[in-house]
A and B are shown apart, each in its own frame.
Chain A
Amino acid sequence: MTEEQIAIIKALQEGIAICEEPFDEAAKKAGVSAERVIEQIRMWCEDGVIRRFGAIIRHRRAGFVANAMAVWDVPDDCIETFADAAASHQEVSHCYQRPRFEGFPYNIYTMIHGRKKEDCEHIANEISEKTGITNFRLLYTAAEHKKTSPLYFLHTQSMEGGE
């Protein structure tokens, strides 16, 4: 990353201003032109450094109040088939493989979002029926203690402020 790119990341990561010319605002913070910011976002979107550029929704406010982390015990040779089946559900936002540990045989994690608990159960049951994986658990969110966006290059000096 160049110094200029780090300045652009820092100007973007807490979100753009919701105003008529948001990229001009970000550009001012980064000390570059708005065209440069827009061009850089485009390039990063293309090569995957930015996964997505757009609005991030508070899904609880939008009615998706039931959120379950479903954990699954999937044999190694079925993992890809299982992940495909799970990921095909729109309500499944994340799907990861993580290490098992003592007393916890589950190795696949899926986040499921629904308007009510039964929706999550229904989706988990569907995935289970489709894949034949029956050893799983739904861990519902009891409290959300923190939810923020990551902040990158906090300790990196950059030419912020257009110096």
Chain B
Amino acid sequence: MSMDSIDRRLLNIIQEDFPLSRKPFDAIGEMLGITGEEALKRTQSLAETGIIRRIGAIFDSKRLGYVSTLAAAKVPEDKIRKTVEVINSYPEVTHNYERDFEYNLWFTIICESSERMENIIEEIKAKTGISDMRSLPAERTFKIKVEFEF
């Protein structure tokens, strides 16, 4: 992956100040001193190489009436693959990370109600036989800012 200084500035702009206009790439091109066409091409190739996951809205799930949690599970080594499969099968599970710790699987759930959330956790426990699984919903949120400066 080779990025020049224009790519880096472009990444900063489209993370923080994506123009809300009919032809946003013309506006981005103007900021960078290149044509809109080139701004679009560069963005497309950054998406093709995988640096850009998507361009879109990050909603505050709570404001949409959704509930969320982080769950931690203690899973024996030989059961990890099967457990991951079960957990990942839920569309409400958005992240699932393995970590070097006795609680070795950490996954997040975003769903429509607390009842659904409890059901998902109970179902996962039943399907995997993993009983040591804790739901740790955020009590307070102090920071969410996932922009990266290039």
* Interfacial residues of chain B within 47-70, with CB under 8 A of chain A in the complex: 47, 49-61, 63-64, 66, 70
Chain B residues contacting A41 (CB-CB under 8 Å) are 20, 57
- Interface size range on B against A: 35 or more
Q: Quick check: B97 and A137 within 8 Å, CB to CB?
A: no
Q: Which residue of A lies closest to B17 (CB)?
A: A54
Chain B residues contacting A154 (CB-CB under 8 Å) are 91
Q: A15-B56, A55-B15, A104-B103 are in contact. Are A96 and B64 (CB under 8 A)?
A: no
Chain B proximity of A63: nearest CB distance (Å): 9
- Residue B128 at the A interface, CB < 8 A? no
Contact with B along A122-163 (1 / 0, CB 8 A): 000000000000000101111111111111101000000000
Per DSSP, are chain A's interface residues mostly helix, strand or loop, or mixed? Answer: mixed
Q: A13-B59, A18-B55 are in contact. Are A52 and B147 (CB under 8 A)?
A: yes
Q: A96-B140, A96-B142, A146-B96 are in contact. Are A18 and B44 (CB under 8 A)?
A: yes
Q: A56-B54, A150-B110 are in contact. Are A145 and B84 (CB under 8 A)?
A: yes
- Interface size range on A against B: 35 or more
Q: Quick check: A34 and B58 within 8 Å, CB to CB?
A: no
Chain B residues contacting A50 (CB-CB under 8 Å) are 57-60
Chain B residues contacting A95 (CB-CB under 8 Å) are 141-143
Chain A residues contacting B95 (CB-CB under 8 Å) are 146-148
Q: Quick check: B55 and A140 within 8 Å, CB to CB?
A: no
Bound-state CA distance A61–B11 (Å) is 13
* Interfacial residues of chain B within 16-72, with CB under 8 A of chain A in the complex: 16-18, 20-25, 36, 40, 43-44, 47, 49-61, 63-64, 66, 70, 72
For this complex, 10 residue pairs linking A to B, each with C-beta atoms less than 8 Å apart, are A12-B56, A18-B43, A18-B47, A38-B21, A44-B57, A52-B58, A98-B139, A142-B99, A148-B94, A154-B91
Residue numbers of A with Cβ under 8 A of B are 1, 9, 12-16, 18-24, 34, 38, 41-42, 44-45, 48-59, 61-62, 64, 69, 79, 83-84, 86-87, 90, 92-99, 101, 104, 109, 113, 137, 139-152, 154
